[in-house]
Amino acid sequence: MDRVQIVHDNFLRRVSARDFPVGGGVTPGLSDAEAIRLYRAQVLSRALDLQSRVMQKQGQGFYTIGSSGHEGMAAVAHALRPDDIAFLHYRDAAFQIARADQVEGQDMMRDMLLSVACS
């Protein structure tokens, strides 16, 4: 079985079982809506990784080096303004998705999937 699939299956199993780590008494600095937006960017980044691999296997795409492990970059994008300069790494999909979410009319998932298909 593909390691990506194993990690994905473990994630689904733990979420379904509500098996979450117990956190410390940290006061959140984000609103619920902001936290959800960041989580969404992180999840979409992983979905993009998985879909790019599917596209590669089907001969519809070529670039399959994923962004896994870089999901936290969504928080960096949240801390910056959309017009701040950012020197991004090719694995910073979560940053790109979170930043695009700050600018109305952007469809970063579509744009990134098109780039996978054209790479």
Please check whether residue 89 is in contact with residue 41, taking contact to mean a CB–CB distance below 8 angstroms.
Answer: no
**How would you write the pLDDT of the chain (119 residues) with one tens digit per residue?**
688 889 889 989 999 999 988 877 666 788 999 999 999 999 999 999 989 889 999 999 887 788 888 999 999 999 999 999 999 888 899 999 999 999 999 988 899 889 888 86
Q: Which of 61, 39, 49 is nearest to 7 (CA)?
A: 49
Please check whether residue 115 is in contact with residue 96, taking contact to mean a CB–CB distance below 8 angstroms.
Answer: no
Q: Which of 39, 11, 12 is nearest to 97 (CA)?
A: 39
CA torsion angle 94 31 18 45 (round to 10) = -10
Q: Which of 9, 94, 113, 95 is nearest to 46 (CA)?
A: 94
